[in-house]
Amino acid sequence: MKNPDVLQRLKTAEGHLRGIQRMVEEDAYCIDLIRQIQAVQASLNKISAIILNDHLNSCLITAVRGNDPAERERVLKEISEVFDASNRI
């Protein structure tokens, strides 16, 4: 999956993380740090949603339309596991 929007968003999040590291080194105000961390988390959540949407519209559809029931089950199980994991965070 080569999505230029995802790559740019990841680079932006990486830059924000470096900014947070500098803030920690400079002993920034805790609430400011938390706000910046929340912004990065929101950004990563958006990236995850984009990737999931791409997956649903490609791999999942291909598997559901395919003739291999085991592949359908595998792909559906993966989706379920991703949602389960996100609920544990």
pLDDT value at position 88? Answer: 79
* pTM listed for this prediction: 0.81
pLDDT value at position 89? Answer: 65
Residue pair 14/45 in contact (Cβ under 8 Å)? The answer is: no
CATH number of 4-88: 1.20.58.1000
**CA gyration radius, the chain:** 18
pLDDT value at position 64? Answer: 86
pLDDT value at position 49? Answer: 92
Q: Given pLDDT bands bounded at 50, 70 and 90, which one contains residue 2? A: confident
Residue 85 has pLDDT above 90, yes or no: no
- For the chain, the domains span 4-88
